[in-house]
A and B are shown apart, each in its own frame.
Chain A
């Protein structure tokens, strides 16, 4: 009994920290409609800065001053980020905003590494709260009790701020109708900046408060961001009270989950989130939200199958790729295979995103499922590679069918966050279910069949699979199914009015995409000869997104080029610099802000725009797209 009480109190203390981090994200989203992936990075920065400051400022007053100063300092950094970066992308699609803020996260990770070094840091205890008090005979840290009180205090303070000040009223008004607030003559720019600063202050404050409890580490950002996403989604995006309720629910769930289901405690949180989203798609206290640009259909020129010229060029490129084993050594060929696998993976995501309008943030799940499916076929059942290459995509398909059933009920940013949650579930299963997946040790010794074991043969195998997969997905885009899928993306109302079911069409697309990703994963397992849980982690999903973005999100198969360039660049980057995340993060931000059309997108815009005009210059005047009667 006493154990449960203590566990309950620990849960409440955790809830306070989680709430501090989450409510900032929720407030920011409510007003700016940006899901700030970098929130975890600011949380981590808050902890690091507080650590440094507490070493310099002493005594009880010094400690608390350090905590507050750290939060204020990080909040100023947040203000700068808002003014320099976010102001440029408020009108961009959600996907771009998520990616840009993720890029910032990557950069912060490396900066922290440079400034504070690689080791974990242990901060001082809070003066006056070093000890513990017995509760039912078990010790409870007094600092935990302080946190338990602090959470509701901050909630109350925010409530007063939002309901009793003019600024708070404007923020709440903007959460409901931004355009109306702008029409009332409020300067949106500064309102957004203010809200963002407040949100970051809360995150950094939450992070700074952690230093007496836990060590300050580099993993703080991604660990907390996954939980924060879950909390704000369950609580309802934009709702502070909802975030508090959800933080308590999730923290208690974690606290008791460890006692009751130690094996699946990590999964539990995401399962609850999935269930809540199916019952209440907008969380406890959330409301349906109109976000900015949701479809890329508006920006897309009509897609065409390849012209004869392009077809020949592609055939030549494939031929050249097939002849590469003549010139490349075994290292070059294994890089080549890796690139081809990335092509299949990126193309599978592009089919779902560009054609289906489904921006997935958890595509790693299906890649990883394919990899684990294939690896376990070989490892546990001793079956040959050929069979494993079938089992891989099937595992991806099954995963996509199960997760997709939940996901396609939602759209936009909720869809993105739910896919992320499912990817994290898959990751935690691979991580925790040691008996089957080997846990952190992974599965070793996944070697290809004899005939495919030479680098050249394996390369040809991946080339064949890659070409077939890309052509098949391209064919699907121009099939009747592809038309239906694009119809749903462009106008769901119209699609439903001509007999196309949004949910069913998108579900099928999700499943196809998952199967293709599973195929890529299966090949990946054989290429590496081993598989670890990190193929399922967030960075894998981000890799796929960046490849699609780099190739051109409004193209049919630009991600092929994106995957080739990105994979080569990142392999080179790994060998050339220790600061690969800083470079990659900066690159992502650059892409989003300056180059959103991607390589193939820009090329085709050039070919159909300036180039076409140059080619057809001086010919007869083009007919104008208004009918004769319509001209006024």
Chain B
């Protein structure tokens, strides 16, 4: 793929006190590509995500979206550049119905005060189209508070898609979902991303999901990028194996101790 990169991350770092949460991370993403970011807990994935999404200010380094430097922009300015995102713990509007959640996205897109119109009847068809796309059309009138968590996660995706994004940031989109649901959700995401040429950056712990849908993946450990490439190459990477399976030092020592005592 030689298209111009949609997202360019250059030398991104962030420290909290003495802890280097993210150190010198660089990568890029082209339209229509699914890029997975994996790594053990505490590797800095969410920090990375929140810096790209504007929820946390970057310590140093640069994030460009469509060639534009977005450092210092707020989440809502980044959203206006066409970035949709989902959160690790789903964030939706619990007091609204499913359709109203999506309508709220449209309500926020309109300029002006928004005092005069009636939001309940505005953008109804568009909202339903988005829900249909995500397979939730039947739930449109349900109170959001009654939904199963997996459906809430899907709703979040619908809200992110409602803005016609160029870039989707999905922080553990499948966490808390049933196994079959996960595969289905990521399959759907992948299809929509291809059709609409949306670049998707996602983190995930479920390797089946990652290997089934990622075009490319990168591995983060202790804030550093330790591997990047096609899934089959990363799978063979010794450093990645060490991080995920452990280096076996403890077992070796235990075995050595047993041998010595025997």
A149 near B: Cβ within 8 Å? no
B119 A482 Cβ-Cβ under 8 A: yes
Binds A, one of B4-12, B29-37, B135-143, B218-226: B135-143
A480 B96 Cβ-Cβ under 8 A: no
Provide the bound-state CA to CA distance between A479 and B110, in Å. 12
Produce 1/0 per residue, A568-589, CB < 8 A to B: 0000000000000000000000
B148 A626 Cβ-Cβ under 8 A: yes
A480 B122 Cβ-Cβ under 8 A: yes
B55 near A: Cβ within 8 Å? yes
B115 A491 Cβ-Cβ under 8 A: no
| Given A486-B95, A493-B87, A499 and B109 contact (CB-CB distance below 8 Å) | yes
| Given A497-B79, A499-B80, A629 and B95 contact (CB-CB distance below 8 Å) | no
Give the contacting residue for A297; candidates B95, B122, B159; CB below 8 A: B95
A303 near B: Cβ within 8 Å? yes
Q: Which A residues between 299 and 357 are near B, CB-CB below 8 angstroms?
A: 300-303, 305
Give the contacting residue for B115; candidates A296, A297, A476; CB below 8 A: A476
Give every chain A residue within 8 A of B117 (Cβ-Cβ). 479-480
Provide the bound-state CA to CA distance between A494 and B86, in Å. 9
Q: Shortest CB–CB separation between residue B136 and chain A, in angstroms? A: 8
A479 B178 Cβ-Cβ under 8 A: no
Cβ-closest chain B residue relative to A508: B113
Cβ-closest chain B residue relative to A489: B95
Give every chain A residue within 8 A of B144 (Cβ-Cβ). 302
With a 10 A CB-CB cut-off, give which of B55, B109, B115 has the most chain A CB atoms.
Answer: B115
The interface size of chain B toward A, counting residues with CB under 8 Å, comes to 53
A484 B114 Cβ-Cβ under 8 A: yes
Give the contacting residue for A483; candidates B53, B87, B100, B180; CB below 8 A: B100
B94 A298 Cβ-Cβ under 8 A: yes
B231 near A: Cβ within 8 Å? no
B76 A500 Cβ-Cβ under 8 A: yes
Give every chain A residue within 8 A of B110 (Cβ-Cβ). 480
B96 A302 Cβ-Cβ under 8 A: yes
Give the contacting residue for B85; candidates A300, A302, A497; CB below 8 A: A497
Give every chain B residue within 8 A of A296 (Cβ-Cβ). 95
Cβ-closest chain A residue relative to B113: A481
With a 10 A CB-CB cut-off, give which of A487, A497, A623, A629 has the most chain B CB atoms.
Answer: A497
Give every chain A residue within 8 A of B180 (Cβ-Cβ). 629
What are 27 inter-chain pairs, A to B, with CB distance below 8 A?
Answer: A302-B100, A475-B118, A478-B118, A479-B116, A479-B117, A479-B118, A479-B119, A480-B122, A486-B95, A490-B96, A491-B92, A493-B55, A494-B156, A494-B159, A496-B55, A498-B79, A498-B163, A500-B76, A500-B108, A508-B113, A625-B148, A626-B148, A626-B150, A627-B148, A627-B181, A629-B178, A630-B178
Q: B residues bordering A, Cβ < 8 Å?
A: 53, 55, 74-76, 79-80, 85, 87, 91-97, 100, 103-105, 107-110, 113-120, 122, 135, 138-139, 142-148, 150-151, 156, 159, 163, 177-178, 180-181, 184
16 further A-B contacts with Cβ under 8 Å, apart from A478-B119, A483-B103, A483-B104, are A302-B96, A479-B115, A479-B116, A480-B114, A483-B100, A483-B119, A489-B95, A491-B94, A493-B55, A494-B87, A497-B53, A625-B142, A625-B148, A625-B151, A626-B151, A627-B150
The 8 closest A-B pairs by CB, nearest first: A480-B114, A494-B91, A480-B107, A300-B95, A490-B93, A626-B148, A481-B114, A483-B107
